[in-house]
Amino acid sequence: MPFATSTPAKKHGTSDDSRVSIELDETAEHENMLSAEGGDNCTQTTSITLDDAETEESDITSTASWLISIHSSISSFFLDKSSMLKKVFVAVVVALCFAYFAASIVFHIIDFCPERRDITPLVAVTCVGLFLGVMTFMSSHFGHDIQQKVLVPVHTVIRRHWNFLKWVVVVVPLAGIVAIIIGTVYNHPRNLLSLAGLATFFLLLFIFSAHPTRVNWRPVIGGFILQFYFAALILKWEMGYNMFRFMGEEARKFLAFTDIGSRFVFGDKFTDHIFVMQVLPVVMFFSCVITMLYHLGIMQAIIGKIALVMRCTLGTTAAESLCAAGNIFVGQTEAPIMIRPFLSLMTKSELHAVMVGGFATIAGGVLAAYIKFGIPAEHLLCASVMNAPCSLAVSKLLYPETEKSKISNVNAVVKTKGKYSNLLEAAAAGASQSIALVANIAANLIAFIALLAFANAVIAWLGGFVCLPDLSFEKICHYLLMPLVYLMGVRWEDAGQVAELIAVKTFLNEFVAYEKLSVFIKARNECNLDYHIFSIGIMLGGLGPMAPDRTRDMAHVVVRALFGGVIVCLITACTSGLLVPEASLDLEACMSAMRNETLTSQVFQDNVTDVTLGLTTINIGAFA
């Protein structure tokens, strides 16, 4: 339909520049149609002016300017007073925390709440938080003065008299160790047998050392001394024992929150598949939490504090020290997540130390499963605590440091910043990054448990020609490892069975080993075995995705690290054998007690129906 527009010409410098007049003339094309409608040529003219729109726009602009002015004023206030506001916020939070703590104590004393709870965890968390808060305040406000007026003079005095003090530092702890051993073996002379085991394992470590002439004896001697005093603290002092038991229970409760997510994804039957639906999800949850802590800077602070203690005692680097400490509560696949950004920078000796620590400790994700088999949780936790410093000592003796560490500077570790924009992104990224880790672990399990089953079938086939159809790798280890087990302090009549358990735990299934352990081992032997049954995992399958460029170096040291993990646990067994007295329970009493356990062998058969296809953590998978 034709239309015409008419626009007045612009007159520069006049008010007509802001006005536009539009006329639309609408004319019918067909006269017949207009005649039929009984009308003349129709013309419709519409005029629209924008004066009202201009006024509205002006009002909006004025309102926006007012809001921007207010926003700028508020922003300037917060920027100028940020320091004061931060102090006020911290003061309010601290006051609220103390008020809550005081109210909790009062309610606990007067028994006000209908459901009475154990207040020990709250007291422990408050004490730790108060200690960290005081240390942070002192460091930020008086750190320079303390360093210049206290630490520097003390360091100067120590260096001036170091030739004398170094002997004091070595002789005094060794004298304490001798005194504790004498006090223990006076009434239990048979415990001295474990001392022969210690000497044997030290000799083996030195013989198989990669660079025996380059050994730095400070971390070696310091690690063994720390291990012994940890053992004495836990096994000879009731308060220390209860403290570590409490810490282990809290760590187990924290990891147990993974079951809520597993139940939602897999359903209520997820407990029927312990490894796939309970252990592997723990890796995902832990990876998510660690990434969040890295984003908040908490992990960097922890690394700095642990590195300070380790450097003063053992002289080890920050990252390897943190990994060794983390292995106390988490497994060999979770602990390296804490130092994921530094794995690619580590020397071979440091990678070796990380692997030895993983092989020598108990996986946190399966701690609850072990407890279900009747193994005391305190024994499992104490084993990991004792193994942490010993793993560093053994690793530095078995593979001494020959390179210059790139992360020995604590500040380089602490100042590492997160790469995520907010905490939610960090949590999502941490969970996603664990997918490759979990997939590698599962793939290695499937492949290498099948290879091990095939190897046992070949051994049995060969044994059948010499009237030994039941021959297997475990039975061979039964006889080969008996002397070593005897040196650990296990009685000879039980040594064969314990040796077979070591083989089962090492090359097949830790669940099988712990179930067997709960049935026939005497109380003292059970305690010893808890300290030396080492946690075997898919080491390369776990570390590989976190540092793909170091896979070749990891494969180069993983066999030696496996041997080191074995020796660490055997040394820990000997140490516990020195300090743990002979139990009065005999084998029959132990078996009778175990028959009353909630978890019977039938339940075990329901969960692990076949030894060769059970839930395992084969370490040979690390060689893939």
Q: What is the mean pLDDT of residues 560-580?
A: 81
Is pLDDT larger for residue 337 or for residue 420? 420
In the predicted model, is pLDDT for residue 395 greater than 60? yes
Buried (b) or exposed (e) across 18-50, using 16+ Cβ within 10 A? eeeeeeeeeebeeeeeeeeeeeeeeeeeeeeee
Q: What are the tokens at 287? A: 């990876």
Q: Looking at residue 505, what is its pLDDT?
A: 60
Helix crossing, 298-313 with 280-296: angle to 10°? 90
Those residues whose C-beta lies under 8 Å from the C-beta of residue 321, and which sit 6 or more positions away, are: 306, 307, 309, 310, 311, 314, 392
At residue 89's C-alpha, the angle toward residues 86 and 90, to 5°, is 85
Among residues 301, 366, 303, 295, the alpha carbon closest in space to that of 333 is found at 366
In the predicted model, is pLDDT for residue 461 greater than 90? yes
The count of other CB atoms within 10 Å of the CB of residue 437 is 25
Q: Looking at residue 99, what is its pLDDT?
A: 92
Is pLDDT larger for residue 480 or for residue 203? 203
**pTM of the entire predicted model:** 0.65
The pLDDT confidence band at residue 408, using thresholds 50, 70 and 90, is low
Q: Which of 166-170, 273-277, 440-444, 583-587 is modeled with the greatest confidence?
A: 166-170
3-state secondary structure of 574: helix
The pLDDT confidence band at residue 374, using thresholds 50, 70 and 90, is low
Is pLDDT larger for residue 130 or for residue 118? 130
Q: Which of 35-49, 73-87, 509-523 is modeled with the greatest confidence?
A: 73-87
Is pLDDT larger for residue 96 or for residue 371? 96
What pLDDT digit, counting tens, does each position of 30-61 carry? Answer: 444 444 444 444 444 444 454 555 666 666 77
In the DSSP assignment, the letter for residue 549 is G
Q: Looking at residue 131, what is its pLDDT?
A: 85
Q: What is the mean pLDDT of residues 407-418?
A: 55
Tell the residue number behind the tokens 């790798």, with chain if given. 473
Q: Looking at residue 506, what is its pLDDT?
A: 59
Is pLDDT larger for residue 503 or for residue 1? 503
For 399-501, where are the E strands, in sequence order?
none
Among residues 422, 448, 467, the alpha carbon closest in space to that of 613 is found at 448
User: On the CB side of 30, how many CA atoms lie within 13 Å of its CA?
Assistant: 4
Q: Looking at residue 532, what is its pLDDT?
A: 37
CB 416 within 8 A of CB 338: no
In the predicted model, is pLDDT for residue 194 greater than 50? yes
Q: Looking at residue 446, what is its pLDDT?
A: 77
Q: What is the mean pLDDT of residues 311-318?
A: 78
Q: Round to the nearest angstrom and report the end-to-end CA distance of the chain.
A: 79
In the predicted model, is pLDDT for residue 538 greater than 70? no
CB 474 within 8 A of CB 505: no
The pLDDT confidence band at residue 371, using thresholds 50, 70 and 90, is low
Instruction: Report the mean per-residue pLDDT for the chain.
Output: 71
Of 271-275, 288-292, 421-425, 432-436, where does mean pLDDT reach its minimum?
A: 271-275
Of 149-163, 226-240, 479-493, where does mean pLDDT reach its minimum?
A: 479-493
Q: What is the mean pLDDT of residues 285-289?
A: 83
Q: What is the mean pLDDT of residues 561-587?
A: 71
Q: Looking at residue 227, what is its pLDDT?
A: 86
Q: Looking at residue 90, what is its pLDDT?
A: 85
In the predicted model, is pLDDT for residue 98 greater than 60? yes
The pLDDT confidence band at residue 456, using thresholds 50, 70 and 90, is confident
CB 573 within 8 A of CB 528: yes
Those residues whose C-beta lies under 8 Å from the C-beta of residue 481, and which sit 6 or more positions away, are: 499, 502, 503
d(CA 162, CA 168): 9
What pLDDT digit, counting tens, does each position of 582-616 carry? Answer: 543 333 333 333 333 333 333 223 332 222 222 22
